[in-house]
Structure 1
Amino acid sequence: MSSDPLLLSESHEWSGLWWLPGAPDERVPGVLRYDRDGGATLSLIGTFENRIMTEDSPWLTAVHEGSRTWEVMHGVAESREITLLDCVPTSTKRTMGARVDSPDRQAVRAQTVLVGVHTADEDDSLFEALQVSVENLGHWGAEKVFSGFIGAPEGARFDGSGSISAKPLESTSVTVDGTEFTLDHRRTAPSFDARRGETTGRIRDAAFVRIAPPGGCSLSSAIRSAKSIQDLISLATHRAAGVIWLRLKLTGEGPGAERHPAERYVEVLYSPAAVGERDAKAIDHHRVFFTCDDIPFEEIILRWFEVRDRLHAATDLILALRYAPAQYLESRLLMAAGAAEALHRALGIEERPMPTAEFKKMRAAMLALAPEDQRERLKSAIRNDVNLRERLNALAERPDQQAVSELVPDLDRWSRRTVKARNDLAHEGRTPDHSMEELVAVVEATTGIVILNLLHEIGLPADRQQKIVREHPRLRSIAEWAKAELVTPES
């Protein structure tokens, strides 16, 4: 069993020697520190030349405004190779000419840290697989790992006896376009923590996903793959799903493989859309849209990557509200309406209002009546496209209709008021005809319709869609908003 992965939520520190790839003999001592808020900072006792200088003549050197940055830095610390990527010096203190001779100091900020390998490029395909752990992954996987026995003979009260058992480690795999996805587990052996006042027995089980592309992967492709799993769990749980850890498995031909014949893992410290907390309380089951009990792992992975590739613009806009919720209602309105438009276009259900040939004749006749100097501008304005209201109504027809009607009872008023709000904001910069409460209802109802469409596209059954609308706290509140603010008053 390999060592435990480095958690993105914890602080880490390494003291070592550091150098630029083109000058491996010019090594500078320093300390690399990582924490989730500040990222990775290298504090050097010494400096790398970051000034931009030109030699105008043998006796004159000009120093220009700005500073050098380095794509890659290498280091060794605690018997491990370390690579720093996208490095920017944040402060440099030189002591030349000072009264007391002391070493120079320099601080360097790195975007990404690889612990366990030296590489020159984030696109080098050095790795045969990646492992990623995401918040609530175990709950979403719906695997019953632990079971317990409580001693209560003949219906009596608990007598103090009992046991906790863990089933043998198992994994579930599926292949998508040659890439193998595996839902797997890391588990600690049973241990006992004896204290002066009590003793605690412990087994820790952590779910993770292993992804093995057919031709290996680079750091950049591994981060994209990790994000795809993060997005899936975020959609399933309707909340930001933080990455807890990410590690890469080196191929047998990787750097230093001849010196390390056993399996080697590289730890990745970076800044995902959200950082996960391993020890935070798990999500309540009522707040989850679906788990592998609803759609088995082998099926949902296949469906998710097909849907994500086809509808990536809409999924990115909706999930952006989970990872970094917009602070202003107006921006949320634009994102929700934009997600609906992007989704409708990607679904390929768009029908032109008029046959193309007939539209061209009509446009030509209209342009012939316009002043000649205005025709080019009018030509781009006269379009044969579906409008936003038609797109919203078409989206509302796709998911289970019982779920849709419970979420948004008056679809006609919802679509009209959504279009009015979006157009007013886009054209006038404000929404004077909407109260704050109605605007919230418009944003939430539009977001809810897009979510139901995404759940419908991945194949969530109709009865599950209905149950989500009735029981999920967020969708229940959306239905209440829509019923209060988006229902046409009786005459």
Structure 2
Amino acid sequence: MANNPLNLDEVGEWSGIWWLPDDPGQPIPGVLRYSPDDGLVLSLIGAFEDRIMSTPSPGLTVFHEGSRNWDVIHGAAEQREISLLGCFPKGGKRTIGARVKSPDKQTVVAMTALVGAHVSGEDDAVFSAAEIAVEDLGFWAASSVFEGFLGVPDGKIDGTGSISVKPVQTRSVLVDGTEFRLQHQHTLPFFDQRKGGTVGRMRDTAFVRVVPAVPFSLGGAREAASLVQDLISLATHRAAGVIWLRLEVAGTEPALLPDGRPAPRRRANVLYSPTALGRGNAKAVDYHRVFFTCESLPFEEVVPRWYEARGRLQAATSMILGLRYAPARYVENNLLTAVGAAEVLHRGLRIDEKPFPRSEFKAMRDAMLEQVPERHRERFKGVIRNDPTLRDRLYALAARPDQDAIALLMPDVDRWAERTTRARNDLTHEGKTPNHRIEELIAVVEVTTAVVILNLLHELGLPAERQSEIVREHPQLRATASAAREWLVSPDAVS
């Protein structure tokens, strides 16, 4: 259906005419194709001038190296407006000097397509709402329009039953002037007649609708999608791909058709390459691997907390979720990322405690600088700082979440803090970690990652009992706790 969103994991094709915004009188026919593997490719019968030229004197044209790119190309195809953003030429054929004159051919690659609207650029604030579907959002929502019933008279299944559909009430919360709505949409019943049988089906899709106080741009809509995507990734402890992103064009609120029914809203589908591509028909996450859903942390509570925490702890959340979106192949990369996320998180939480009182530290620093030759004092002055050490920061982070959960995760906080600090310092100062076996480094990375995650869940208000339950029951955290007991326990404690 024309009103259905365009899934990012499906192919599409639009035949029409295309032009540059500053030269609308010279349209060129062509076909736009999209696939998740190849992205957006526009094949033109004709060509936009992509050569870089100058005219130093009348009658003399100089062609320079390189080719011209275009910020925006507009099109009209399949009865819809289309905007292509971030465009550059990728090959073509010109017929200059050919025996038989025929149209030029040109291939253009675009980074983003807006199917349903013309915009002047990514910062053009012309959208009044964004609708985002992300992998496992339906599971996280902990709600569905479907209910199933089985006939079980006298405790025995008799073969009867039914599936009923009941609309789910929209959940909504206002955050800093922007409304976030958790909504469902479902298809009508469909019976697929096959030679070997009949299949009846409907589809329920959960999505988040974001309505800002004032119209926002494509860039703002993509940031809203990223916020939802990261929340689901944290909740499910896995990469959460974007399935589709659809925008509502401002100023196109529903009008009435001649028969009195409301006209459909004017929407534009966004085709682009998100951090992770969502697969709409892939199997959902196993419930044992989910940290929380809207059942344990209601939508109306978790979205404002996540909005605030992500804004305040952006670097830390990006680093730790990056291990889910693009896992590094080498433990050294993961070590720097996990420990870096812990340091950045500690700073972002604003729980720094200076090791020395200000006046006492100044006296100590001045006394030390007196022993340094004057020509080197400025350099040493910048090195001597009254900041917590990495070990101090690790201790502070371990003290914040539920302590029963931390005790389940690792039996020896001192050993973890010591070995993590040693590994990071060896790697950054010497370029290697000769004092750690690879299994111990893996344990350091996994435990540090888990500590950062437990702190984020603590910031979101996840109950203490649930934090402990996660460490006990989540397969990955159970494995992490097992590795900690094997590799991050002091030899004295073992003996």
TM-score of Structure 1 vs Structure 2, range by shorter chain: over 0.9
In the aligned structure 2, how far is the partner of 1:30 from the partner of 1:227? Answer: 32
In the aligned structure 1, how far is the partner of 2:103 from the partner of 2:480? Answer: 62
- How far the C-alpha of 1:144 sits from its partner, in A, is 4.2
- How far the C-alpha of 1:2 sits from its partner, in A, is 6.9
**Equivalent residue for 1:193?**
192
Amino acid at match of 2:29: P
Q: In the alignment, is residue 172 of structure 1 matched against residue 171 of structure 2?
A: yes
Larger mean CA deviation between 13-22 and 165-174 belongs to 165-174
In the aligned structure 1, how far is the partner of 2:265 from the partner of 2:318? Answer: 35
Conserved in 2, the CA contact under 8 Å of 1:252 and 1:261?
A: no
Amino acid at match of 1:80: R
Amino acid at match of 1:327: R
**Equivalent residue for 1:154?**
154
Conserved in 2, the CA contact under 8 Å of 1:50 and 1:68?
A: yes
Q: In the alignment, is residue 384 of structure 1 matched against residue 386 of structure 2?
A: yes
Q: In the alignment, is residue 312 of structure 1 matched against residue 314 of structure 2?
A: yes
Conserved in 1, the CA contact under 8 Å of 2:145 and 2:184?
A: no
Counting aligned pairs with the same residue, the percent is 60
TM-score by length of 1: 0.96
- How far the C-alpha of 1:100 sits from its partner, in A, is 4.1
Q: In the alignment, is residue 103 of structure 1 matched against residue 103 of structure 2?
A: yes
- How far the C-alpha of 1:253 sits from its partner, in A, is 5.9
Q: What SS does the aligned partner of 1:43 have?
A: strand
- How far the C-alpha of 1:61 sits from its partner, in A, is 1.2
In the aligned structure 1, how far is the partner of 2:136 from the partner of 2:9? Answer: 15
Q: In the alignment, is residue 220 of structure 1 matched against residue 219 of structure 2?
A: yes
In the aligned structure 2, how far is the partner of 1:309 from the partner of 1:326? Answer: 25
Conserved in 1, the CA contact under 8 Å of 2:189 and 2:200?
A: yes
Moved over 6 A (4+): none
**Equivalent residue for 1:364?**
366
5 Å-filtered alignment, 1:234-249, equals 234-249=233-248
Amino acid at match of 1:483: R
**Equivalent residue for 2:425?**
423
In angstroms, what is the RMSD of aligned CA positions?
A: 1.7
In the aligned structure 2, how far is the partner of 1:237 from the partner of 1:27? Answer: 47
In the aligned structure 2, how far is the partner of 1:169 from the partner of 1:454? Answer: 29
5 Å-filtered alignment, 1:42-441, equals 42-156=42-156, 158-252=157-251, 262-441=264-443
In the aligned structure 2, how far is the partner of 1:116 from the partner of 1:266? Answer: 4
TM-score by length of 2: 0.96
In the aligned structure 2, how far is the partner of 1:152 from the partner of 1:119? Answer: 58
Larger mean CA deviation between 368-377 and 458-467 belongs to 368-377
Residues 389-437 of structure 1, C-alpha deviations (whole Å, 9 max, x = no match): 0000000000000100110111101111101111111111111111000
Change (3 A) 1:262 1:204: closer
- How far the C-alpha of 1:99 sits from its partner, in A, is 4.0
Give structure 1 stretches of 5+ with no counterpart: none
Residues 250-296 of structure 1, C-alpha deviations (whole Å, 9 max, x = no match): 12269xx99x9641011110111011111111111000000011011
In the aligned structure 1, how far is the partner of 2:359 from the partner of 2:88? Answer: 57
Aligned residues: 487
Conserved in 2, the CA contact under 8 Å of 1:44 and 1:107?
A: yes
Give structure 2 stretches of 5+ with no counterpart: none
Larger mean CA deviation between 438-447 and 351-360 belongs to 351-360
Residues 25-81 of structure 1, C-alpha deviations (whole Å, 9 max, x = no match): 111111101111211011111111111111111122111111110000000111111
Residues 358-416 of structure 1, C-alpha deviations (whole Å, 9 max, x = no match): 21222112111111222122111111111100000000000000100110111101111
Q: What SS does the aligned partner of 2:114 have?
A: strand
Amino acid at match of 2:333: S
